[in-house]
Amino acid sequence: MSGSRPTTKGVFLRFAPTEQRSLNASVWRQTWYPAYGILGALTSLVAILLPIAMARASFPPFKIGVVMSALNLGLLLSPIWGRLADRTRMYRAIFSFGFILLGASFAGFCVTRGALVWTVVAFLQGIGVAAVSTVASLLVVVSNSRADWDRHIGWLQGHNTAGQVAGLALAGLLSSTVGLELGLLLSVVAIFLALRVRCETTSSAVGPHTAAFAHPTRLARRTELFTRTPFHHLDALALLADLHEIVLSRFGRFLIAWFFLSAATSAFFSLYPVMMPHVYGISAQVVVELYAGTILLTLPLYSLVGRWSERFGAGRMFEIGAGARTSAFLALGLLAFAPFTAASPLVLVSFAALQGLWPFLGVSAIDLAARLSQFGEGAGIGMLNGAGALAGALGAVIGGFSAQSFGYWSVPFLGAGGAALCWALSTRMVRRIPPRHAVARP
């Protein structure tokens, strides 16, 4: 009976083009793709439910910021996981261990209380996310030929984005306690999938300094739940040795501008599930559903912005994105004091703009980092990710301190200040960078 009826997957592969059909068939056989999708759901759940759970437990805003900061600090261990995976080839073990840490962290959130304990648990969760993210990207490289990297990275990020949307939808429907317990269950499922990973290394497998992830359109498919793109392994010792040269270069000035933007973004997005009901009277469920819908609607914009970057220049796209983000943050700050009843729809529009306009920044930043870096494309992207993770940790703490000292209304103004600094520091520099089509090819 079952043999007479084709499966959905079979129909999908049957009508796909021949080249795409082989790719899709390969993807369906790789268990790390759905596991990476589960990671997207887990990061969404924790980014929404953890601040809400802490607020319900009467945590002050500063402590909420510290706990959320610990998540980003854990992400800084990504280079260690990358180097370990390169040297040992223990991809399945590291991938599974990352999910084990995620499961243990969700269990810790469910059974413990206290700011110090939750900070440690959040740091462990960040380490787990770093391990899974790093190895997921590496598996694409070591399991496929160089010509197929971009397509497989696109599929990988597609799974992660779908997981993020599902996690956001669940977070909007569930209470914080139930959601954190669901995270524990999803971690168990992901561990099972990770243990079934089979990796066949191709002849194109590379070492720790590959520029495999220098394609801007594919890499930028992400949201603001964590201030991170897929991780490239970065040699921290080499970075410190060349720090003076980096700071004085155009690339260094761009990293500083990106640091301000990432810190401001983290300050806002670490607290917004608690801030939006507190300041604007809009429930977290409405905000989260709006967030998920915006992510879906903006997915086609990534490829479109990629084409615009080639035509008009990545610098111009970055300038538009930084300016628009400054305006959206400033609008949210001013609307906190709006006396009229139409303020709520304007708040939702401004909030949606923060995520909806992200492709202008996400695509162009990776393009600019790869082109400006004097250490190679891969190293440039790794440094961009490292600066973003460090800024994310610092920004969450600063956001919590500002909310506790002045009130939650101050956080959007903090975001506007950081985005404005980014625009001011980078705008003249990035304008001088020609579009890709204007660069003479060797």
- Residue that has been written with the tokens 């002050």 in this structure: 60
Nearest to 166 by CA among 258, 293, 62: 293
**Claim: this prediction has a pTM higher than 0.85:** no
Q: Taking CA 361 as the corner, what is the angle to CA 156 and CA 374, rounded to the nearest 5 degrees?
A: 85
Query: H-helix or E-strand containing 99?
Result: helix 91-111
DSSP-assigned letters across all residues of 388-401: HHHHHHHHHHHHHH
Nearest to 337 by CA among 408, 268, 284: 408
* Separation between Cα atoms, residue 384 and residue 4, nearest integer Å: 52
pLDDT given for residue 160 in this prediction: 82
Nearest to 197 by CA among 31, 29, 24: 31
pLDDT given for residue 272 in this prediction: 92
Domains present along the chain, CATH in parentheses: 25-436 (1.20.1250.20)
38-63 pLDDT tens trace = 998 999 889 888 898 898 888 899 99
3 state SS of 202: coil
Query: H-helix or E-strand containing 165?
Result: helix 149-173
What dihedral angle (degrees, nearest 10) is formed by the CA atoms of 221, 292, 328, 337?
Answer: -160
What are the distances in angstroms from CA 188 to CA 169, 267, 421? 20, 31, 43
SS3 track for 209-237? CCCCCCCHHHHCCCCCCCCCCCCCCCCHH
Asked if 50 contacts 102 with a C-beta cutoff of 8 angstroms, the reply is no
Other CB atoms within 10 Å distance of the CB of residue 30:
23
pLDDT given for residue 329 in this prediction: 96
Other CB atoms within 10 Å distance of the CB of residue 395:
31
* Separation between Cα atoms, residue 70 and residue 77, nearest integer Å: 12
User: DSSP assignment, residue 438?
Assistant: G
289-322 pLDDT tens trace = 898 888 888 888 887 888 888 888 888 889 999 9
Q: Give buried/exposed letters for 152-182 (b at 16+ CB in 10 A, else e).
A: bbbbbbbbbbbbbbbbbbbbbebebeebbbb
pLDDT given for residue 216 in this prediction: 41
* Separation between Cα atoms, residue 29 and residue 256, nearest integer Å: 42
* Separation between Cα atoms, residue 289 and residue 298, nearest integer Å: 14
pLDDT given for residue 246 in this prediction: 63
Rg (CA), the chain: 21
| Axis crossing angle, helix 358-372 with helix 250-269, rounded to the nearest 10 | 150
Instruction: Work out whether the CA dihedral 215, 258, 40, 207 comes out positive or negative.
Output: positive
In the predicted model, residues of the chain with pLDDT beneath 70 are 1-29, 144, 146-150, 153-154, 198-248, 340-342, 376-379, 430-442
Nearest to 273 by CA among 48, 44, 15, 116: 48
Asked if 215 contacts 146 with a C-beta cutoff of 8 angstroms, the reply is no
Asked if 152 contacts 217 with a C-beta cutoff of 8 angstroms, the reply is no
